[in-house]
Amino acid sequence: MNLKLNGKRYKLRYVSGVSYLGECDPPSLAGKEIRINADVTGEKLLDTYLHEFLHALYWHIDEDHIAKPAEDLARALWRLGYRMKEDE
């Protein structure tokens, strides 16, 4: 799947056998990807999406300022009932 974040195109890819939850390439890189651990599910998956999307949107902001907002947004959306369908 391709996503456009902050005017930049990213390929969203799911990867197995990795130790990280997610990873985002720098916006200046050609062929940018956001990689999501294929084994992550539920609220942690939502948190991981938000975390990596925030990196793509605000690359200049360090990890300490990305992690907590992503976690808080994921928790709020989860409590509101947000769930992905199995085929997504």
- CB proximity list for 39: less than 8 A, separation 6 or greater: 16
Predicted confidence at residue 52, as pLDDT, reads 98
Predicted confidence at residue 62, as pLDDT, reads 92
Predicted confidence at residue 36, as pLDDT, reads 98
88: in domain: no
Q: What is the pLDDT along the chain (88 residues), one digit of tens a residue?
A: 999 999 999 999 999 999 999 999 999 999 999 999 999 999 999 999 999 999 999 999 999 999 999 999 999 999 999 998 765 5
Q: How far apart, in whole angstroms, are the C-alpha atoms of residue 69 and residue 49? A: 12
84: in domain: no
61: in domain: yes
Residue 51's domain spans which residues? 2-79
Predicted confidence at residue 58, as pLDDT, reads 96
Q: How far apart, in whole angstroms, are the C-alpha atoms of residue 10 and residue 3? A: 5
Give me 88's structure tokens: 């997504």
39: in domain: yes
Half-sphere exposure of 84 (CA within 13 A, CB side): 13
Q: How many domains does the chain have?
A: 1
85: in domain: no
Predicted confidence at residue 88, as pLDDT, reads 56
